[in-house]
Structure 1
Amino acid sequence: MKLRFLIYTFFLLFPQLLMAQQVIKGSVQDATSGIALEGATVTANTGEQTTSTANGQFSLSVSENTQQLIFSLIGYNTQRINLPYSGAELLISLQPDAAKLQEVVITGYESNRPLLETAGAISILDRASIERFDESSVVRAVNTVPGIRMEERAPASYRISIRGSSLRSPYGIRNVKVYYNGIPFTEANGTTALNLIDAANIGSIEILKGPTASIYGAGTGGTILLEPRKAAPHETSLQTGATTGSYGFRKYTAAASIGSENSSILVQYTKQKYDGYREQSAVDRDVLLISSEFRPSDKRTISANIIYSDLYYELPGGLTEEQYRDNPRQARGGQFGSVVQNASIDLEGINVGLKQEYRFNENLHNITAIYGLHKFKDNPFNTDYERNTNQEIGARSSFAYNTTLGSINTTLTLGGEYQRGFEVARTYDNNGGTFGELRTDDEVLAKTGFLFAQTEFELPAGIIATAALSLNDTKYEITRLHQIGSGTYKYNRDFEAVLSPRVALLKRLTDKISAHASVSSGFSPPTEEEILTSNGTLNEDLEAEKGTNYEAGIRGFAGKLSFDVVGFYFRLNETIVSRQDESSVAVFRNVGSTSQKGLEFNATYTLLEQPEQQLNSVKVWSSYTDSHFRFKNYQKDEEDLSGNKLTGVAPHVAAAGLDVATKAGLYFNLTSNYVNELPLNDENTVFAESYFILGARAGVKRDLGRSFGLEIFGGVDNLTDQKYSLGNDLNAFGGRFYQPAPDRNYYGGINLSYKL
C-alpha cells in the first residue's frame, strides 16, 4: 500500500515538477574579441550550477523561483542577469578584467592572442579604469599606465608622450598613431585630433609602446587602439546621465542601444561645458556617436561608426615662473595676450568608418576598413589667425592565414594601409580675435601608406616566434597660392620608402608566466605642421626620425597577484625637437640622436573576489616608470648639449590605487600619481617641480527592479591641493613654460538606465 501510494503521489505531482523547472540555454563569449569562452561558471541564485563547453555553450535547469544567473570566469568581470527567461538562447559577453593577464585577448599585432602569448610592451585600460574619474577626458586614466604620459595644456588641448615622444609635440598629438575600431584616426598629415572624441565614446584602450611600424606603419612612439562603446547583447535600453563640478564643469549624456544575437546599435550624444580654472580656458563640446555591428552570417561581421563633433575651447597660454607662482589662474597677458586676441580653437568634424571581417574558412580571414573625414578649424592665436579645412579618405586591409609547416602551427598576415588628405590652410592677421589681412594661402596634399607582412611560428617548448616587415612611404605636396612679399610656388617632399622590421620571441615559462624579447625598427617622417609652421614658414630641411628599440619583459600571475615588467633601450637618430621663437611660433629641427633606457612595471593584487559576499571585491594596483633618457651628439649653436636629460621627461613616475566594491552596489576608488621633477628646456637650466596628487570617487550603482538602473556618484581630484603644471610648454620663449592645472576640485553626478 505504501509503495502504491508513493507511485500514485509521484505521478500526481510529476506535471507540477515539470512546471517548476525551466531549462536555460545560451553561450558565453569574450566581449572584446567575440571568441567563445570555455569553462565559464553559470550559477543560479537558487544554487544550480554548470560550466560552458568548448564552443561556449551552456544549458542549466533551474527552479521556477530562480531570479538571477551569475556568469563568472577567471580573467573576466562577473556578470549578472535577471530572470524571467523569455525562452530565447542567451548570448553572454564577459568583459576582460585587465588586472588578470591570463585571459586578456590582445588585438594589436593582429594575432588575437592572450596577453601571456603576445611579445611586446602592451597596456590595457578597460571601461572600469576610465570610470575611476570624472570622464571630462581620458587624461587621468591614461596616466595610470607605465611608460605613457598624457598632458592637458588647456582643457581639450591634449598631448601624448610614449617613452619620451613629446619632444616634437609643443601642442597636439604627434609620433603616436591612433585607431578607432581598427580604423585610422591619425590623419595622413601625421596629426591626431583626439579631442573630437569624448571619454564616454571609448569602451577600452589598448596601448602598444615603442616602434610598431611592422603592423601600423610609420612611427617611433607607439600605437593606441581605441575600441568604441557598443550595445550590450540581447538588451534594448535607454541611458542618461549628468555630472557637475567645480569651475563650471557640466556634462550630459544620453544614449539608446539595441542589442540582439546578430546585431547591435548604439546612438550616444554627449555635451560637455567648462568655464575653466584659468582665464580664457572655457570648453564647449558636442559629440554624436553612432556605433553599430551586424553579423549577417557566421562568416561575415560588419561594423560602422559615425562620429560628429563640434568643439570650441580657449587657449590661456603659457606663464612665466613668476606669474605661475603669483596667480596660476591668469592667462597670458600683454599686447598679444590670450584674452585680448581671443586665443581659441573652433573645430568641427565628422568621421565615418566602415569595417568588414570575413572568414573564408577556419584558416583564412580578411579585415577591410574604409573611412572618410571632413574637418574645419578656426584658430585665432596670439600672433596670427588660422583657418583650415581638411578632407581625407583612407583604407586598410589585412589577410590572416593559419597553416602548418611540418608540425609547426604558423600564422601569416599580409596587408596594407593608404591615406590621402587634402587641406586648405590660410593664415591672417589677428585683430583682437577677428581675422584681418591674408598672410598665406596654401593647399596641402598628404599621401601616406605602407605594406606589411608578419609571420608567427608556434615552436616546441612553448616558444612563439614573430617576424614582421613593413614598407612605408609619405609624400607632401604644398602649393602656395599667396604670400605677402613673395610669389607663389610649389614644394614637394617625398620621404623615401623605408623598410621597418620587427623580430620577437616569447617563451611560456609556465602556464602562468611568460617572458618575451623583441627588436624593432621605426621610421617617423615630420608632420605637415612641422614642415609648414603656423606662421607660414616652410621648414624644407627637416628629415625623418629613425630608431631601433630593444626590449625584454616578463609577465604573469601568481595566485591573486598579476604583474608585467618590461625593460627597453631605444636609440633614435635625426631626433626632432621644437623651440618657440619670439612670436611663440614653434620651429622644428633635427638634433642628432637620443639614448632612451627605461623600466616599466605594473601589478595588481586582488585582496578579495567573492561575488556572493557583502564586501565582494577589493583590489590594489600600482605602476612605475623609470626613464634614463639622454641627448646624444646634440650641438646647439656653440653649446654642446650632449648628455643632457631629455626635455619634458620625468625620470620617475608612479601611480597606485585601491578599488573596492560591495554586493549592494557601493563602490570606492582611490588613485594617486607621483611625477618627478622634469627639465623644461634642452639646456636643462629650468625644471618643473615634482608633485603628488590624489583623487577619489565613491558611489552606488544598482538595479531598481528588473528594468531600471541607477548610479549616484561623487568625487574629488587633486585632493592634496598641489600646484603643478600638467602640460608644460617645452623650450618656451620668454620663460613661458607653465600651463597650470586646477587646484582641489569636486564633481558629482547621476546616471539612469531603463531596459525595454
Structure 2
Amino acid sequence: MRKIAALYFLIFLLPALATAQTIVSGTITNAQTAQPIVGATIKASTGESTQTNYSGNYSLSVSADANYLVVSHIGFVADTIRIALGQQANYSLQLQPRQNVLSEVKVQGYETNRPLLETAAAISIVSSDVLQQTDESSLVRAVNTVPGVKMDERAPASYRISVRGSTLRSPYGIRNVKLYYNGIPLTEANGTTSLNLLDAASIGTIEILKGPTGSIYGAGTGGTLLLEPRRAGLGKEVGAGLTVGSFGYRKYNISAGAGSAKHNVLVQYNQQQYDGFREQSAVDRKVLLISPEFYLSDRQTLTSHVIYSDLYYELPGGLTLEQYKQNPRQARGGEFGSVKQQAAMNQETINIGLKHDYRFNDNWSNSTLVYTLQRFRDHPFNTDYERNATQEIGARSSFVYNTTIGNVATAFTFGGEFQRGFEVARTYDNNSGTAGKLRTDDEVTAKTGFVFGQAELELPSDFILTLALSLNDTQYRITRLVQVASGNYNFVKDFEAVLSPRVALLKKLSDRVSIHGSVSAGFSPPTEEEILTSDGVLNQDLEAEKGTNYELGLRGYALQNKLYVDVVGYYFRLKETIVSRQDASSVAVFRNVGSTSQKGIEAALKYTIVDAPAAWVNYSNVWASYTYSHYRFKEYQQNEANYSGNRLTGVAPHMLSAGFDVTTQSGLYLNLLANYSDELPLNDANTVYADSYLVTGVKLGIRRTIAGSLKLDVFAGVDNLTDENYSLGNDVNAFGGRFYQPAPPRNFYSGLNLKYVFN
C-alpha cells in the first residue's frame, strides 16, 4: 500500500517540478549615463521574454532550470546575465552603447525618437567619434564627411553651411538652414545663425536633416541641424587639455563634470587663439558652457544650458585670381583694404535655455522649452563700421500622444514655436578701424513662429506612414531713427502665412534594410540682413523662397552586418530663388530671380573591417560619402543677360569624402581623412570657376587609463597633408573678381588631454 501511495505521489509531483517557476527581476541602465533603458528585451535561456518599462525595470517568470538571461536593445551591445538555478534575486545590468552602429541609434529628427532604419527621411549623424578625429579647432572637417553638406570657413571662425546647395544667398554667415542646440533654436528670429559662438568641443553629436523640414521645424528649404551638447561621463571627473599647431594655433580647455542616475552636469571652458595664415586673420575665442541635466523622476527631466561666448576674429577679405596666385597670404588691399580698415568682428553673447520633458502616462508626454539671447557686436567692416545689440526670447512646446487605432500603432505630435528678436543697429563711417560719423540708426523687431502637427502610423506589412503639416509666419518691423540721406521711416514686412506639408512612407524590407520616400514643401523668408543691407538700403520687394522636394532612399546592412549603406536620390524645385551679388563697395545685394532645378544623389558607405574587443586591433573601418549635384537655373533673367540653364553658383557637381579609422587594445588610434571637391562656378554667368581640389589629413594618438582613474589622450596630426593650394569659402558673384579666400597649406598640430575620474 505504501508503494502504491508513493507511486501516486511521484506521478502528481513530477509535473509540478517540471513546471516550477522562478521570478527574476532587475533594472537595465545605460553604462555611460546610468539612465534607465526603456524597451530593452530580456530573454531567458528557456525561451521566456519580456521588456523593460519606462523606469528600466523588468520582472519575468522563468523555468527553474533557466541559467542565463540575454539582454538586448537597439543601439546597445547585447549582454548576458548568469542566474542561479531556481534562485529569485535582483539581476540588473548596464548596457554599453554601440557608438559605431549609427543605423541602430535612435534619432531625434522629426521628434519620433525612432531608429534610423525606421525614419523616412534623409538624415545623417556626425557622432562624437567623428568630431574628435581632428584637432577640434572647428566643425568644418567633421561636417564635410556628410554627403550633401558642405561647410566653409571664409575666415577662421566665419562659417557658412550649405545643405544641398543653399549657399546662393549666403555670401557670409549661415542662412536658409535652421540649427537647434539641445533642442533650443540657435537660429534667431531674423533667420541668421551665429554658430561661431560655440566651440567644437561643446558639441557631442550632430543630426543633419536634409531638404525642407518645415513640417516640424518651421521655415527653411535648406535643412535642419540638431546639435546635442557634450555630456559628462558616469561618476565625477575633472579634465584639462592643450593643443598647439601651425600659424600660432593654441587651444586650452578645462572641464568638470558629474554623472549619475539623478543628474548629469558638465562645466567646460575653452579658449582658442590663432595668429592666422593670412594677414588680418587672427582669432581669439573664449567659450564657457554650463550644461546641467536633472532626472527628477522616471517621468520628468529638466535640462538647461548657459553659453557665454567672447569672440574676436579678423576678416582678411577676398582676393582676385592674380592676387591669389601671387601671394595667398595677403589680405584684401586698396582704399577699403582689410588691414587699413582693421576689418574684424567683436561679438559677446550669452545664450540661456531651459527645457522640461514630462511623461504624463504611457500615452501622453510633453516637451517645453524657453530661451533668451543677449548679444553685442562691434564690427569694423571694409566699407563701414557697424555696432548692434540684440535681445531675443523664444519658446517651443510639443506634445506626443501614442495610441492604437484599430490594430495600427499611431503617434500624434503637435505643438508650436515662437521667437521674437529686437535689435538696435547703427552704422558709421569706418575711419581706419575707428567709428566715424553716424550713417544710420535702426530698430529692428523680428517675429517668427509656427504651429505643427504630425501623425505617424505603423501600418501592416512593416510600412510606416508619416503625415505632417505646419503653418508658418514671419514679420519684420524696421524703424529708421536716423538716415542722413533720405530721412526717417517705418517699414513693416509681413510675409503671408504658408502651409508646409510633408508625406513620407517607409517600408522595412527586413530587420536590417529599409526603403523610404517622401514629398515635402518648404518656404524660407528673407533674413533681416537681406532686407536691410549694410549700406542702409531697404530691399522692400524681396519675397520668400518656396520649394517642393521629392525623395527616395535606401539604407541598411549587408555582408553579415559589416557593410552599412545609405543612398538617397532627390529632386527639388525652388521658386522665387534668392541670389546674392556684390556692388562696387562690397555690399551684398539680394534679388529673387525665378526658379531652380536641383537633382542629386547622396551616398554613404561604411565597412567594418574588425570589431573584436579582445583582439589587439579591436576596431577598424573604412568609409566614404559621395555627393552628385545636377543643379541648374530654370528661369533667370538679369537685365539683358539670360542665365537660364546655367549651373547653380557655388555648387560642385561631384564631392567625395573618405577615411580609414583603426583603434587597438593598447589605446593607439589612427584616423585618415580625404576630401575632394569638383570645380564649381563662382558667378551666375558661369564664366569663372574655382579649381577642384583634394585635401587629406591624418591624426595619430594614444588613449590610456592610468591607475584606473586618470585618462590620457596624446595626439598629433597633419591637415592638408598634400599641401594643396585651394580656396575654402569662395565669395560668389564678388565685385572686382575678389572670389577667393585661400585656405592654409600643410599645417601641423599636437595636443594632450587629461581627465581624472573620481571613484
Q: Same fold (TM over 0.5)?
A: yes
TM-superposition CA deviations, 1:601-637 (whole Å, max 9, x none): 0011000000011111110000000000000110011
Q: Does 1:107 align with 2:108?
A: yes
Q: How many equivalent pairs are there?
A: 708
Contact 1:100 1:557 in 2 (8 A): no
Gaps of 5+ in 2: 1-23, 44-48, 60-70, 80-89
Alignment-mate amino acid for residue 711 of structure 1: D
User: 1:469-618 alignment to 2 at 5 Å?
Assistant: 469-558=469-558, 559=560, 560-618=562-620
Report the Cα offset of residue 535 of structure 1: 1.0
The 1:649/1:507 distance shift into structure 2, 3 A limit, reads same
TM-superposition CA deviations, 1:394-415 (whole Å, max 9, x none): 0000000001111111111110
Contact 1:77 1:97 in 2 (8 A): no
Q: Please identify, of 349-358 and 28-37, the stretch whose mean Cα deviation from structure 2 is larger.
A: 28-37
Contact 2:283 2:313 in 1 (8 A): yes
TM-superposition CA deviations, 1:532-581 (whole Å, max 9, x none): 00111110000000000000000000120011000000000000000000
Alpha-carbon separation, structure 2, partners of 1:213 and 1:564: 23
Alignment-mate amino acid for residue 167 of structure 2: S
Alignment-mate amino acid for residue 349 of structure 2: G
The 1:430/1:523 distance shift into structure 2, 3 A limit, reads same
Alpha-carbon separation, structure 2, partners of 1:382 and 1:297: 55
User: 1:421-440 alignment to 2 at 5 Å?
Assistant: 421-440=421-440
Alpha-carbon separation, structure 2, partners of 1:336 and 1:503: 51
Contact 2:28 2:36 in 1 (8 A): no
Match of 1:407 in 2: 407
Q: Could you tell me the TM-score, scaled by structure 2's length?
A: 0.90
TM-superposition CA deviations, 1:99-155 (whole Å, max 9, x none): 441x21010100100011100000001100001111000100000000000000000
Alpha-carbon separation, structure 2, partners of 1:755 and 1:129: 24
Contact 2:30 2:97 in 1 (8 A): no
1:703 alignment partner, SS class: strand
Alignment-mate amino acid for residue 127 of structure 1: S
Gaps of 5+ in 1: 1-22, 42-50, 60-70, 80-87
Report the Cα offset of residue 232 of structure 1: 1.7
Match of 1:664 in 2: 666
1:168 alignment partner, SS class: coil
Contact 1:377 1:389 in 2 (8 A): yes
Among 658, 672, 675, the residue aligned to 1:673: 675
Deviation beyond 6 Å, 4+ runs, structure 1: 30-34, 71-74, 88-91
User: 1:227-306 alignment to 2 at 5 Å?
Assistant: 227-233=228-234, 235-306=235-306
Contact 2:398 2:414 in 1 (8 A): yes
Match of 1:361 in 2: 361
Alignment-mate amino acid for residue 292 of structure 1: P
Q: Please identify, of 635-644 and 91-100, the stretch whose mean Cα deviation from structure 2 is larger.
A: 91-100
TM-superposition CA deviations, 1:238-263 (whole Å, max 9, x none): 01100000000000110000111111
Contact 2:319 2:737 in 1 (8 A): yes
1:166 alignment partner, SS class: coil
Report the Cα offset of residue 31 of structure 1: 6.5
Match of 1:753 in 2: 755
2:530 alignment partner, SS class: helix
Alignment-mate amino acid for residue 572 of structure 2: F
The 1:395/1:752 distance shift into structure 2, 3 A limit, reads same
Match of 1:189 in 2: 190
Alpha-carbon separation, structure 1, partners of 2:629 and 2:674: 19
Report the Cα offset of residue 72 of structure 1: 9.4
Match of 1:15 in 2: none
Contact 1:666 1:700 in 2 (8 A): yes
Alignment-mate amino acid for residue 421 of structure 1: G
The 1:172/1:568 distance shift into structure 2, 3 A limit, reads same
Contact 1:427 1:440 in 2 (8 A): yes
Aligned sequence identity (%): 64
Match of 1:132 in 2: 133
Match of 1:176 in 2: 177
User: 1:19-168 alignment to 2 at 5 Å?
Assistant: 27-29=28-30, 35-36=37-38, 38=40, 54=52, 75-76=75-76, 92=94, 94-97=96-99, 99-101=101-103, 103-168=104-169
Alpha-carbon separation, structure 2, partners of 1:509 and 1:93: 28
2:325 alignment partner, SS class: helix
Alpha-carbon separation, structure 1, partners of 2:101 and 2:454: 29
Alpha-carbon separation, structure 1, partners of 2:52 and 2:391: 47
Match of 2:220 in 1: 219
Contact 1:515 1:554 in 2 (8 A): yes
The 1:113/1:30 distance shift into structure 2, 3 A limit, reads farther
1:741 alignment partner, SS class: coil
Alpha-carbon separation, structure 1, partners of 2:246 and 2:26: 49
Alignment-mate amino acid for residue 367 of structure 2: I
TM-superposition CA deviations, 1:348-390 (whole Å, max 9, x none): 0000000000000011000000000000111100010000100
1:264 alignment partner, SS class: strand
Contact 1:447 1:476 in 2 (8 A): yes
Report the Cα offset of residue 29 of structure 1: 3.2
Match of 1:48 in 2: none
2:553 alignment partner, SS class: strand
Alpha-carbon separation, structure 1, partners of 2:169 and 2:128: 30
TM-superposition CA deviations, 1:1-29 (whole Å, max 9, x none): xxxxxxxxxxxxxxxxxxxxxx9976333
Alpha-carbon separation, structure 2, partners of 1:31 and 1:213: 34
Report the Cα offset of residue 738 of structure 1: 0.1
1:276 alignment partner, SS class: coil
Q: Does 1:706 align with 2:708?
A: yes
Report the Cα offset of residue 485 of structure 1: 2.2
Alpha-carbon separation, structure 1, partners of 2:91 and 2:270: 34
1:461 alignment partner, SS class: helix
Report the Cα offset of residue 298 of structure 1: 1.4
Alpha-carbon separation, structure 2, partners of 1:659 and 1:34: 31
Alignment-mate amino acid for residue 497 of structure 2: A
Report the Cα offset of residue 300 of structure 1: 0.8
Alpha-carbon separation, structure 1, partners of 2:158 and 2:76: 34
Alpha-carbon separation, structure 1, partners of 2:328 and 2:303: 46
Alpha-carbon separation, structure 2, partners of 1:639 and 1:348: 43
Report the Cα offset of residue 752 of structure 1: 0.4
The 1:583/1:40 distance shift into structure 2, 3 A limit, reads farther
TM-superposition CA deviations, 1:465-508 (whole Å, max 9, x none): 00000000000000000011222110000001000000000000
Match of 1:67 in 2: none
Contact 2:164 2:222 in 1 (8 A): yes
Alpha-carbon separation, structure 1, partners of 2:32 and 2:733: 45
2:167 alignment partner, SS class: helix
1:167 alignment partner, SS class: coil
Alignment-mate amino acid for residue 746 of structure 1: F
Alpha-carbon separation, structure 2, partners of 1:269 and 1:93: 31
Report the Cα offset of residue 36 of structure 1: 3.3
TM-superposition CA deviations, 1:26-80 (whole Å, max 9, x none): 6333979964363699xxxxxxxxx996455699xxxxxxxxxxx997755899x
Contact 1:600 1:625 in 2 (8 A): yes
1:319 alignment partner, SS class: coil
The 1:214/1:31 distance shift into structure 2, 3 A limit, reads farther
Alignment-mate amino acid for residue 349 of structure 1: T
Alpha-carbon separation, structure 1, partners of 2:378 and 2:91: 52
Match of 1:330 in 2: 330
1:417 alignment partner, SS class: strand
Match of 1:627 in 2: 629
Report the Cα offset of residue 336 of structure 1: 1.0
1:379 alignment partner, SS class: strand
Contact 1:342 1:433 in 2 (8 A): yes
Alpha-carbon separation, structure 2, partners of 1:89 and 1:706: 26
The 1:477/1:157 distance shift into structure 2, 3 A limit, reads same
Alignment-mate amino acid for residue 583 of structure 1: S
The 1:699/1:77 distance shift into structure 2, 3 A limit, reads farther
Alpha-carbon separation, structure 2, partners of 1:58 and 1:129: 35
The 1:388/1:94 distance shift into structure 2, 3 A limit, reads farther
The 1:94/1:126 distance shift into structure 2, 3 A limit, reads farther
Contact 2:236 2:259 in 1 (8 A): yes
Match of 2:377 in 1: 377
Contact 1:98 1:104 in 2 (8 A): no
